[in-house]
Amino acid sequence: MTTTIPTGRHFLQIPGPTNVPDSVLRAMAAPTIDHRGPAFSDLLAELLHDIKPVFGTAGPVVIYPASGTGAWEAALVNTLSPGDRVLCFETGHFATLWQEMATRLGLVVEFVPGDWRHGASPEAAAERLAADTEHRIKAVCVVHNETSTGVTSRIADIRRAIDATGHPALYLVDTISSLGSLDYRHDEWGVDVTVSGSQKGLMLPPGLSFNAVSDKALAAAETARLPRSYWDWTPILGANATGFTSYTPATNMLYGLREALRILYAEGLENVYARHARHAEATRAAVRGWGLEVLCKDEREYSGVLTAVVVPDGHDADRIRDLILDRYDMSLGAGLGRLAGRVFRIGHLGHTNDLTLAGTLAGVQMGLRASGLDVGTEGINAALDVLGRPAAPA
Ligand SMILES: Cc1ncc(COP(=O)(O)O)c(C=O)c1O
């Protein structure tokens, strides 16, 4: 229950859905057009072309009017058959949900255990694949940015590990919370299906999701036997080739996507990635200045998207978040799954800037102190020192 009447803008600092730029909202506030008419086919052709750079692909990208969960399912049902083995890694809550979905769909999951503080291990991938001499594993599934932990997995290193074994498994990667925020290269890293969503780095509301698809994945789709209908790439790609969709498209979301891509490319993807890395560094500096712990254990795997902060024993992260929402009108991410109550997550992705981050970290510092944690005031100063350094040119 809110006891303080909010004034000014709400601070939405969860790791998605993220703040939607005003120009994207304005772009969406336009009349919906005939999705079988020429104006729509121009829009779709432009988008299907312009979306490729953010995925780092020259291949097709399938757009679904669905949340990210739908695109997860699409990646699996288009490429796999009942009883196929898939190799998944327990990096956190979302990796756990994806493998549960795979099991429900009739796949056999090898789930490499993890401590929710590290990314997927390239060494473990190599070991499991090398042991699979009969090539029963048909796909390796990795979450690029674990939104529940603020830990990334090293997608290129895992590709190299797969290649070193000579194993033919498909490589499926969830970039729902990394696309448009972290460097990502579908083609160069040999990913077969990249799964993504609209509501994080793409700065759109929730409601669109994506599969970027390699030639190898398209070939796998020809023999894959998991039941599929709505998610089937074939009718969608067929319709896309003529400028249309095989379902009624989310036209106004597509207007927003056009504007969001324009903004991202105007800043330059390299600059976008550098900004996210810098904001993440400033956030970690604040956390350390407060004497608290960043959940991610390996600096190679720090997330540029969000930082999960471990709350000391005897304190409840959700109560701290509640106080911050009530007093300062700021939403922070809750601890999910086994991290409930133990961490809070600071989102620093998408449509944001130095001063928004400074305000966010000031709010966290005030909230921690008001919750009785002895965190001092060095955190915000340490963050401002990082933000005060000139940004490195891309
Ligand atoms: C990494 C990751 N994967 C999958 C999902 C599920 O996507 P959605 O909630 O859009 O269905 C999320 C949602 O936050 C996510 O962060």
Sign of CA dihedral 53, 59, 65, 71: negative
| Topology classification of domain 11-19+268-388 | Aspartate Aminotransferase, domain 1 (3.90.1150)
Alpha carbon distance 103, 381 (integer Å): 47
Average pLDDT estimate for 22-40:
98
The domain segmentation of the chain, as residue ranges, is 11-19+268-388, 22-265
CA–centroid distance, residue 123 to ligand 1 (Å): 26
Which tokens hold the place of 63?
């757009």
Please calculate the CA angle 239-214-161 and round it to the nearest 5 degrees: 160
CA–centroid distance, residue 38 to ligand 1 (Å): 33
**Atom nearest to 145 CA in ligand 1:** 1
CB of 329 sitting under 6 A from ligand 1: no
**Ligand 1 probe mutation, 177, 202, 204, 253, most atoms within 8 A of CB:** 177
Confidence of residue 392 (pLDDT cuts 50, 70, 90): low
Average pLDDT estimate for 359-373:
98
pLDDT at 157 over 80: yes
CB of 197 sitting under 6 A from ligand 1: yes
Candidates 145, 148, 142; CA nearest to 124 is: 142
Candidates 34, 389, 24; CA nearest to 243 is: 34
DSSP state letters, 333-376? EEP-GGGTTTEEEEE--SS--HHHHHHHHHHHHHHHHHTT----
CA–centroid distance, residue 68 to ligand 1 (Å): 5
Query: What pLDDT score was predicted for residue 394?
Result: 57
pLDDT at 391 over 80: no
Query: What pLDDT score was predicted for residue 1?
Result: 54
What is the CATH code for 22-265?
Answer: 3.40.640.10
pLDDT digits (tens, 9 = 90+) for 241-264: 999 999 999 999 999 999 999 999
Query: What pLDDT score was predicted for residue 390?
Result: 77
Confidence of residue 2 (pLDDT cuts 50, 70, 90): low
Query: What pLDDT score was predicted for residue 171?
Result: 99
Nearest CA to ligand 1 atom 7: 68
Domain 11-19+268-388 shares a fold with domain 22-265? no
Nearest CA to ligand 1 atom 16: 147
Sign of CA dihedral 329, 331, 332, 336: positive
Alpha carbon distance 351, 299 (integer Å): 25
Query: What pLDDT score was predicted for residue 257?
Result: 98
Q: Measure Cα distances from 167 to 63, 141, 374 in Å.
A: 29, 14, 52
pLDDT at 155 over 70: yes
CB of 333 sitting under 6 A from ligand 1: no
